[in-house]
Amino acid sequence: MTYVITSPCTDVKDRSCVDVCPVDCIHDSGSQMVIDPVECIDCGACVPECPVEAIFFETDVPDGERESVARAESFFGQGNG
């Protein structure tokens, strides 16, 4: 389990989260920022920094945003065996 950045980040990419992340695990995937699920230490520091409230703990990701979880795993090569 880890934190996930959802679709409100798309084309916003404020990057306030990047500035506060202690392990530099938030990367630019192109259209939006994504959190490396392996590197993230689940500190939650990024959540209140996001101006569009796009960051959720994985189990709290809204139903309509579940694909954000798969996108992050795919971007970092997770979930492919």
Binding ligand SF4 by CB under 6 A: which of 4, 9, 40, 61? 40
* CA–CA separation, 73 and 56 (whole Å): 15
DSSP 3-state of 73: helix
Binding ligand SF4 by CB under 6 A: which of 3, 37, 71, 72? 3
Strand partners, 20: none
The residue among 25, 22, 77, 32 whose CA lies nearest residue 54 is 32
In this chain, which stretch among 7-15, 39-47, 64-72, 73-81 interacts with ligand SF4, using CB under 6 A?
A: 39-47
List residues near ligand SF4 by CB under 6 A.
Answer: 3, 20-21, 23, 25-26, 35, 40-46
